[in-house]
A and B are shown apart, each in its own frame.
Chain A
Amino acid sequence: MRVGVITFPGTLDDVDAQRAVRYADGEAVPLWHGDHDLKGVDAVIVPGGFSYGDYLRCGAIARFAPVMQEVIEAANKGMPVLGICNGFQVLAEAHLLPGALTRNHKLHFVCRDQWLKVENTSTAWTTRYDEGAEILVPLKSGEGGYQADEDTLKELEDNGRVVFRYVGDNPNGSRNNIAGITNARGNVVGLMPHPEHAIDALTGPTDDGLGMFLSLLDTVVKA
């Protein structure tokens, strides 16, 4: 399994995403923002950070990076793509996922260990989880509030496209406590919390996040 991990200037969690891929026995392939090809990878992770400083709007510049044009094309053909935190923001800006991420409702950056409920276990990234399972992974973001119009929310809810939901008090004001969603096909997933920081209880709150990368392994092997 070869998994591309994109680095934009300002990307921070690329090393963590690469490590998570290795923990799932995959090969992490670094992709540079200026690359025009995906180097034959089986899947792509758009990691967290502050791409290009996020000075305009989170992810708004990154979506125009050359490598993103390749990702958009590949995703539309069914390649598994995961956007974590800033990566989720980038995928939303690139219209691979609906909705937008906005400033946390309490206006502070929030870093905390967050319980999530796994609600969709059929995406390319979540097959290893039991439906309804609760997992504990870090959440760390200043603009993690998920927003979408009523029609989009209904579309997501009616079709089981909410993949992760916050358990307990809403950390950032997300609509319907949404922490992560998928596209209609189930190959593209975006979430604000960080599964790649929860692959080893030594350095994370748990190893609950590893399931996402192992799920990908299953998906790639089956494909």
Chain B
Amino acid sequence: MIDTVENAEATPGQEQPYRELGLKDDEYARIKEILKRRPTDAELAMYSVMWSEHCSYKSSKVHLKYFGDTTTDEMRSKMLAGIGENAGVVDVGDGWAVTFKVESHNHPSYVEPYQGAATGVGGIVRDILAMGARPLAVMDPLRFGRPDAEDTKRVLPGIVAGVGGYGNCLGLPNIGGEVVFDESYQGNPLVNALCVGAMRVEDLHLAHASGTGNKVILYGARTGLDGIGGVSVLASETFDDTAGKRKKLPSVQVGDPFTEKVLIECSLELFEKGIVAGIQDLGGAGLSCATSELASAGDGGMHVRLDRVPLRATGMTPAEILSSESQERMCAVVEPANVEAFLEVCAKWDVIATEIGEVTEGDRLVITYHDEVVVDVPPRTVAHEGPVYHRPIQRPADQDELQANTPDSLPRPAKDELLALIKTMAASPNLASKKWVTQQYDRYVRGGTVLAQPSDSGMIRIDEETGRGVALSTDCNGRYTKLDPYEGARLALAEAYRNVAATGATPVAVTNCLNFGSPEDPAVMWQFEQAVKGLADGCAELGIPVTGGNVSFYNQTGSTAILPTPVVGVLGVIDDVRRRIPTGIGAEAGETLLLLGETHEEFGGSEWAHHVHGHLGGLPPKADLKREKLLGEILVAGSRDGMISAAHDLSEGGLAQALVETCLIGEVGARVFPEGDLFTALFSESAGRVLVAVPRTEEQRFVDMCTARRLPWRKVGVVDPESNALEVQGLGELPLDELREAWEGTLPALFG
């Protein structure tokens, strides 16, 4: 029997499995208080999933507020939509608006790597589409456990194939991302997916369900039993006698990129025809989320007829239909006069479209199933007024000990070991070439890709006439963040900012994906609070706003939390992509190598300490954001005036790694002459540094600019097109063939 509102009123004492659905006693009590009766099964399903940590941000909300508090009007001036919308939107000039966001799909990807990663890509792409934009490119910051662990051989190839399988078939270029290994991710890999899209400013669509009488149309794939997750508890109760006969489907959703590609083109045609009044994608929490969010964002109520939803399984209960996370679905609000035209476009693309309800007067979300009312709620209580927790916060007891355990006492290599160390580090899994991964991703489709991995940032052309484009980079060093969450988050921001500037683009906006352990652990909440503060304060210093983001808690291997991993994505604008700065040297004859910024002895959390000594302790490098800003301005000015022929940011592995990469990517040799303590010069990870190649004819003009603007610089070498080696004065030379074998050989040796 279907549990109707009438039935709920008649049976106030009926026991409900709210605990199995993840609701706490007081949360359940609050639902009863809101409804003034017990919830129906369908309502319980909606509240439980919408009030989950993932959908309600109940542990993070009080902290995320800080992003808004620290964003000034000036920082907001280019922002067309911000936190709270499906994705942030930024005005990038020439009448273009760009929207971008990164989201996590960590837990499903551990259970089922291929589908978990694939649907992670699919979900973020629909978020971007729901803003009215054409999705243009994707990026994937990934974290894995030990590279040589048996389970990593299951997880990594599956996730990479899933990201590629979905994105390639969807027709979006993959232009960057990260692959990082650390033992803490062994039982909890991180799959973050970023998508960027563009639209004309006037075409921005926000999720609204205004206008009484407007129709609610569900279009895209049919709704099935996949991705129902916890709500199956309700099914087994309701269908006690038939439970054994029902096909149990995995709680990880299954993606169909072909359907999504068609959905994109169909939606864009609908937008172009101007027949969409409001739009919302169906992602986590499926129809529960879409209907309650659309209704709360509008000015009226909504009536939805669940029996009209096209299904691909028989015997689904209302609760299941509402909770299903079947992929590739969208929900639109359409004026009655436009419904026919809407359905025509969908028919052209063979997309199933069904009118499932309408916007009503009043302020209730009423959902019926064969004319029986199964949901009758104030939509805001579902979508926006969920519980808010002030979780206890406690700086970990061992934080002082961790910071006191500096890398100073680690044995340093002798001078005659340094050359070999360059090669060893280049071959270490975190620094090694990620070509094995990225060559499984299409980076060319749609013809707008100007830069892609292994460049510092991905860059996409938006306007073929003017050449306007955007650059994107995501970064985070979890070891730095572990040592000092505040500084670690600022460092992640600094690096992403620097990466964008290193391609000649001006950084304008920030998104984030905050991956942390359990919020019920006060130490984790301390990391979280510190990281949010660090990131927000950093953004204020740089003058660029956070436009959106995502929080993923409960990431842990056994009972041990992952390294705190606030992945930061920075978006930059370039008025003409033809002046982009490449990462590889050798594009012009006769280049000088300059190191911009200052090098200090900073090895806390470094790749050297990690790879050579398995050490994590001390303090991370210092981030000087004023310096980063100046560095960014110099790089953009240099690019504008054609003074820079290549640039590569210094990060993990220091100058040595930057040199190896710039030579190998450019396929030319170089002679370098580092000064001071050679180990520090080559391997320190001081922030705020970029290696640039300048044509000899521009050298004087460029260094004069740096000097005038007080940016420290030092000549560290010359590009040698005739040489096939990286020569380090005083140490000897490393043939490029040998370096390439070291750099590119690691991942294939591990993963086949």
Chain A residues engaging chain B, CB cutoff 8 angstroms: 9-10, 12-13, 15-16, 19, 49-50, 52-55, 108-112, 138, 140, 142, 194, 196-197, 202-204
Do residues B442 and A9 form an inter-chain contact, with CB atoms below 8 A?
no
Do residues A109 and B447 form an inter-chain contact, with CB atoms below 8 A?
no
Q: Which of B169, B441, B444 has the most CB of A within 10 A?
A: B444
CA distance A52 to B350 in the complex (A): 11
Q: Which of B164, B259, B446, B450 has a CB less than 8 Å from the CB of A109?
A: B164
CA distance A54 to B257 in the complex (A): 11
Known: A9-B350, A111-B439, A111-B441. Contact between A203 and B448, CB under 8 A?
Answer: yes
Do residues B447 and A111 form an inter-chain contact, with CB atoms below 8 A?
no
Do residues A13 and B258 form an inter-chain contact, with CB atoms below 8 A?
no
**Distance to closest chain A CB from B220 (angstroms):** 13
Q: Which of A16, A49, A54, A111 has the most CB of B within 10 A?
A: A111
> With an 8 A cutoff between CB atoms, is B443 at the interface?
yes
> With an 8 A cutoff between CB atoms, is B168 at the interface?
yes
> With an 8 A cutoff between CB atoms, is B171 at the interface?
yes
Q: In this complex, what residue of A is CB-closest to B460?
A: A203
Chain B residues whose C-beta falls within 8 Å of the C-beta of A110 in the assembled complex: 439-440
CA distance A202 to B460 in the complex (A): 11
Within 8 A of A (CB), among B242-286: 256-259, 261-262
Do residues A53 and B258 form an inter-chain contact, with CB atoms below 8 A?
yes
Chain B residues engaging chain A, CB cutoff 8 angstroms: 161, 164-165, 168-169, 171, 256-259, 261-262, 349-350, 438-450, 461, 464, 577-578
Q: Which of A16, A109, A138, A197 has a CB less than 8 Å from the CB of B168?
A: A109
Q: In this complex, what residue of A is CB-closest to B165?
A: A109
Besides A10-B262, A15-B446, A203-B450, 13 new A-B residue pairs in contact (Cβ under 8 A), listed by A number = A12-B171, A12-B261, A13-B446, A16-B447, A50-B168, A55-B258, A108-B439, A109-B161, A109-B165, A110-B440, A111-B439, A197-B447, A202-B450
Known: A109-B165, A112-B439. Contact between A16 and B445, CB under 8 A?
Answer: yes
CA distance A197 to B452 in the complex (A): 14
CA distance A13 to B259 in the complex (A): 17
Chain A residues whose C-beta falls within 8 Å of the C-beta of B438 in the assembled complex: 111
Chain B residues whose C-beta falls within 8 Å of the C-beta of A15 in the assembled complex: 446-447
CA distance A123 to B441 in the complex (A): 32
Do residues A10 and B446 form an inter-chain contact, with CB atoms below 8 A?
no
Do residues A109 and B445 form an inter-chain contact, with CB atoms below 8 A?
no
Known: A9-B350, A16-B445, A109-B165. Contact between A202 and B578, CB under 8 A?
Answer: yes
Chain A residues whose C-beta falls within 8 Å of the C-beta of B461 in the assembled complex: 202-203
Do residues B443 and A111 form an inter-chain contact, with CB atoms below 8 A?
yes
Do residues B444 and A138 form an inter-chain contact, with CB atoms below 8 A?
yes
Do residues B262 and A9 form an inter-chain contact, with CB atoms below 8 A?
yes
Q: Which of A19, A50, A194 has the most CB of B within 10 A?
A: A50
Chain B residues whose C-beta falls within 8 Å of the C-beta of A111 in the assembled complex: 168, 438-444
A-B contact count (CB 8 A): 82
Q: In this complex, what residue of A is CB-closest to B259?
A: A53
Do residues B349 and A9 form an inter-chain contact, with CB atoms below 8 A?
yes
Chain A residues whose C-beta falls within 8 Å of the C-beta of B164 in the assembled complex: 109
Chain B residues whose C-beta falls within 8 Å of the C-beta of A196 in the assembled complex: 447
CA distance A25 to B440 in the complex (A): 33
Q: Which of A16, A109, A142, A196 has the most CB of B within 10 A?
A: A109
CA distance A104 to B439 in the complex (A): 13
CA distance A111 to B259 in the complex (A): 23
Do residues B447 and A140 form an inter-chain contact, with CB atoms below 8 A?
no
CA distance A10 to B257 in the complex (A): 9
CA distance A204 to B169 in the complex (A): 20
Can you name 10 A-B residue pairings with CB atoms under 8 Å?
A: A13-B171, A13-B446, A16-B444, A16-B445, A50-B261, A53-B256, A109-B161, A111-B441, A140-B442, A202-B578
Do residues A109 and B444 form an inter-chain contact, with CB atoms below 8 A?
no
**Distance to closest chain A CB from B678 (angstroms):** 36
Do residues A10 and B261 form an inter-chain contact, with CB atoms below 8 A?
yes
CA distance A19 to B465 in the complex (A): 12
Q: In this complex, what residue of B is CB-closest to A32?
A: B348
**Distance to closest chain A CB from B503 (angstroms):** 13
Known: A109-B164, A109-B165, A111-B439. Contact between A10 and B258, CB under 8 A?
Answer: yes
CA distance A162 to B368 in the complex (A): 63
